Structure 1
């Protein structure tokens, strides 16, 4: 005790349970803690009972030892949380020994547990109408996070916010869907506009009929860059730019001009049927009076009666699968002058990536075989490896980064039920606000299933509509028209339609961070949030992520929604890499054999991904899908129906056993869930 007394720096006193906690510290370390009771004497209050904590035991000490301790302390501090009467009693006791003490604001949680934590205006965290230290506040937050099942990424952000805001209750409220924008705000992405010399449309060297259809005076920056770098001279280009910056017109300028000039038809390819339907209608409306437009989607491979698809048309709008099926079945697509592949970053998608890679290679083979002078235009949102992707595609890179309006990104936490209430509040708040340009705020809500689209739409008080690929053409057009007329406060759509939803929304809400049962990639997320805010309508865009702590949508998902949220918000753009496992290699090699025969190896070599051709050919021979480098009837059938080898074997086995069709379908569906 004498050594401890000699070395004391700060002596801290705090009232608790009718007595006073005593903490001795030196150089930031606690030497010991104890308990002091005072007694009233004729000379005033004096130390009565003094005990020092030793493990779980209270060891009695002589009261005089407390006086010695106090005299040897460099400073004596009394907590502000001590009652006024208690402070007066302590000061009177210390005065009796000619000792001075100062009152300090401290953390009550710490003081009650024998810790001395002085607070400053910078470190104090408000909690229960008082102030505590950051460590105690973080422990309280940690308890709430544990209760909610919150993962590390979300915890880190909440701790940062706790220090920034200095209010424990407000931060904990975020876990119950609090919508205070000052608290939910994660960051703001500033508006950026590069200084690009815009091309005047009357100077474009294009066909007169196309020139007459251009209704604006200047091209947008990314369009100007493409034209200045040889777009209209037939150069292949990879155009990388954010959502709503005008990439689509780049492909149209090249393809429509060449089609009108007799230099071959335009193929405009998109990943989804709904997007193809929308693009087909846009082309019909914009160019249907000067060109023949047709549609080729994946459904055509099931019942290809030829009623809708006209391979002789000037413009073919199609899905990747629809055009690939035409190639796999030997359709004559005529003279192809321009191929525009929208969403080419899908080369990096798990399932769709290898099929798009194979399609590009097979389509290039078709164009070479038929001596087409084809220009290739690839369109993509921002990717992490634009330069190397352009090199792999043999295209010139046109990259433009612009965000016409700033975007605020917000995060709050809620379970499935709470999300519906929050979405209703956010939609109301946006629709009740007008921009400086006179437009109401309208919302796109992205979720992960068609069923959830309708569930959310039914719960919104203001007029809204579900919008997804399950609606027929007329229903979708009605929703688009109503939204454009500001008759709807919101549309609720599946994440899978993010690329094609062309609504002038000021706000995007992520009800889910999944696409089906897969978490969104950074590219997909960036593209979807880019739908918030249009320069001609809004002053800024607003994005809300409604995050379910510890939430997932399928047991195969390794991460949880709170982990994914901060990965997406902070994550760097992934490089586009097409990866081949054995199944993908077999599927694409077989399709290349069906389309190109002995030239299949060259098609494999031209693909962006690294295809283990020798191994794939060996497996195809073993499975009797090919004979030499020619497809067997079985191989031909498998390719036409885009079957994986295991699916083909299930079908064959079931057919041989006479399995009823509904049982066969169920078995294949169940295999897809595994």
Structure 2
């Protein structure tokens, strides 16, 4: 396969200098083909190649060539905030060439006009979709889009947003990147792009099936070879073999509980560890502030043995320590849920897919097989460039009989074709609302909607039903957004969420307590979902000291109702300053769950407050504003002003308040007292932050 020497690349010398500093002296076959197909001339491309094949550099070369031709601005889009941060750090290299790099994610109710100062902006699909509704001048001037992890278009939850972004982005210069698009010709045609599809990997992948037979394990590889393993537990036997050969392992399990249980089993293995490096990592773990003490103690014990579990129940701080420890090869094994496969760059020599089945949350007790695409995403993590000559991925099955079928389905077959996920009312009506914020006639709405991947007749039907529903519920007058509709579009919440809020607060008095408001917001499509056992559901009813707006006696009880009630009670405890460890234990959730709930409810209480304002429901508006001010920091009302000072959270705020420091002005007027309570360095920093907040200079 063709390889281009960096010196022969037709780009400015300054670019080559920075690439050489990274250790890049030539382009690999995938990168070379992209250049050959017109990457540097601004050709629209859809690139499908395995994980680790250098797609980020391709994007960088595309964006740099575009900007250095004197074009306007480039936007790089990712599906996850963690990836956004990772790419932002990588792209900062190019500021040496005078290219200003910016980043934005979250906070959907803004046009981020400050980004007009930047040449290259990194963001998420949701943030970009929301920005288009605000129509900032800087975005209208942007004419190059990189759509990373483009296979998310096939995701039931995120897909509609990715498709909406792609419809707008494909009117400009475009580069779409993915590891798994089996119908790349069809998708490239839709994007008006040139398809580039390759299976080249910098580290070849060997795939196999791991079978437990008569208390012994055997790996059957797709190339016809096999390998016997000693021991009755195939995952433990395989993991020990790889680690003791100098490799690292990612073990994927189908639930948090299974990931944690597997980690504790692996802990008992005799892994080769560097004790001094582990001590440093354990010290960092101890300093993590956004985690529960029970989680930290468990992870400290595991990491001391070279293993850690990783899932969304862990706080961001804990996940970052684990990921960094694995990248530095201190942690040898991570047991994780499949969400890790779609996250940050974290390769290992070997990947173990411990389960091909998962529970279907919609059908109680029903297990379904994972998709081929999910397997490809997991197996794609195998093989560390620079460390391994070969990556290895194995699927664990219960018996030899299953081995052939599983190999045929997952190893020998391509992933499922990418299809539109706009084909449901909730997704399509949100899509329509976004279009309506940017056009002025029904013909224009139809024209844009017909650019989706959906069948044209289905689109026509959805447009007719959707416009009627949006008009009936007060979002549109004709095709023009009402004041209510405009606010919903700008807030970037789903129309069904807005209708729940509007109908509930319009029909109820404001005499209800915070639990009622939290429960209402948690019943919306934009709310998070938590697991609730049957017994727990009954207990939750007893714990609620005031009734929700919706009475369960009216037939609304069920999994959604109890999930919302559990979230409401968690939030009630949170804003009443109940200790975090107590909340995690009481409701059996992780610190990551709590952060996710708080972050989402911060947004939803703000949205509720804004909608109450538009609807002129002043009593509800006042209550929702008050709840919004308390949710983000988890404080009682008297601490709201104090925690506005950066660095003063719920614990420090309560300590200061109880010692007579009750507002930012008190911090500025009593610097010595603040330093005595919080320590010299921290106290000094917080005094300066309070002065900055008040607009003064010390």
Question: Structure 2 length as normaliser, TM-score?
Answer: 0.58
What is the distance in 2 between the residues matched to 1:451 and 1:288?
A: 46
Aligned ranges 1:403-552 → 2 under 5 Å: 403=201, 404-412=203-211, 422-433=234-245, 440-448=246-254, 453-461=259-267, 462-468=305-311, 475-513=318-356, 520-534=370-384, 536-547=386-397
> Does 2:14 match 1:209?
yes
Aligned partner (choices 457, 465, 470) of residue 620 of structure 1: 470
> Does 2:187 match 1:389?
yes
Query: Is residue 412–residue 544 contact of structure 1 (8 Å, CA) maintained in 2?
Result: no
Give the superposition deviation at 1:645: 4.0
Aligned partner (choices 317, 331, 335) of residue 136 of structure 2: 331
Match of residue 348 from structure 1: 154
Instruction: Quickly say closer, same or farther: Cα 1:396–1:540, change in 2 above 3 A.
Output: same
Give the superposition deviation at 1:544: 2.9
Q: Higher helix fraction: Structure 1 or Structure 2?
A: 2
What is the distance in 1 between the residues matched to 2:396 and 2:96?
A: 42
What is the distance in 2 between the residues matched to 1:582 and 1:663?
A: 23
Aligned ranges 1:32-181 → 2 under 5 Å: none
> Does 2:208 match 1:402?
no
Instruction: Quickly say closer, same or farther: Cα 1:244–1:476, change in 2 above 3 A.
Output: same
Match of residue 37 from structure 2: 229
> Does 2:438 match 1:630?
no
Instruction: Quickly say closer, same or farther: Cα 1:197–1:523, change in 2 above 3 A.
Output: same
CA-based RMSD? 3.5
Larger Rg, first or second structure (1 or 2): 1
Query: Is residue 170–residue 192 contact of structure 2 (8 Å, CA) maintained in 1?
Result: no
1:615-638 CA-partner distances (Å, limit 9, x unpaired): 322332233321111112332333
Match of residue 568 from structure 1: 410
1:585-644 CA-partner distances (Å, limit 9, x unpaired): 222111111133333322212223332333322332233321111112332333334444
Give the superposition deviation at 1:360: 1.9
1:151-206 CA-partner distances (Å, limit 9, x unpaired): xxxxxxxxxxxxxxxxxxxxxxxxxxxxxxxxxxxxxxxxxxxxx22122112222
Secondary structure of residue in 2 paired with 1:264: coil
Secondary structure of residue in 1 paired with 2:436: helix
Q: Higher strand fraction: Structure 1 or Structure 2?
A: 1
Give the superposition deviation at 1:244: 1.5
Secondary structure of residue in 1 paired with 2:75: strand
Query: Is residue 620–residue 626 contact of structure 1 (8 Å, CA) maintained in 2?
Result: yes
Give the superposition deviation at 1:260: 4.4
> Does 2:439 match 1:586?
no
Aligned partner (choices 262, 277, 283) of residue 70 of structure 2: 262
Give the superposition deviation at 1:387: 0.7
Give the superposition deviation at 1:413: 6.7
Secondary structure of residue in 2 paired with 1:595: coil
Match of residue 497 from structure 2: 647
Give the superposition deviation at 1:223: 0.8
Aligned partner (choices 278, 282, 301) of residue 108 of structure 2: 301
Secondary structure of residue in 2 paired with 1:214: helix
Instruction: Quickly say closer, same or farther: Cα 1:235–1:338, change in 2 above 3 A.
Output: same
What is the distance in 2 between the residues matched to 1:453 and 1:633?
A: 48
Secondary structure of residue in 2 paired with 1:310: helix
Aligned partner (choices 93, 99, 107) of residue 291 of structure 1: 99
Task: Say how many residue pairs are matched.
Answer: 449
Aligned partner (choices 451, 457, 461) of residue 606 of structure 1: 451
Secondary structure of residue in 2 paired with 1:619: helix
Instruction: Quickly say closer, same or farther: Cα 1:649–1:473, change in 2 above 3 A.
Output: closer
Question: Structure 1 length as normaliser, TM-score?
Answer: 0.60
Match of residue 250 from structure 1: 58
Secondary structure of residue in 2 paired with 1:390: helix
Secondary structure of residue in 1 paired with 2:138: coil
What is the distance in 2 between the residues matched to 1:541 and 1:607?
A: 38
Instruction: Quickly say closer, same or farther: Cα 1:276–1:458, change in 2 above 3 A.
Output: farther
Instruction: Quickly say closer, same or farther: Cα 1:254–1:445, change in 2 above 3 A.
Output: same
Instruction: Quickly say closer, same or farther: Cα 1:571–1:476, change in 2 above 3 A.
Output: same
Instruction: Quickly say closer, same or farther: Cα 1:281–1:469, change in 2 above 3 A.
Output: farther
Match of residue 663 from structure 1: 519
Secondary structure of residue in 2 paired with 1:568: helix
Query: Is residue 496–residue 515 contact of structure 1 (8 Å, CA) maintained in 2?
Result: no
What is the distance in 1 between the residues matched to 2:210 and 2:149?
A: 27
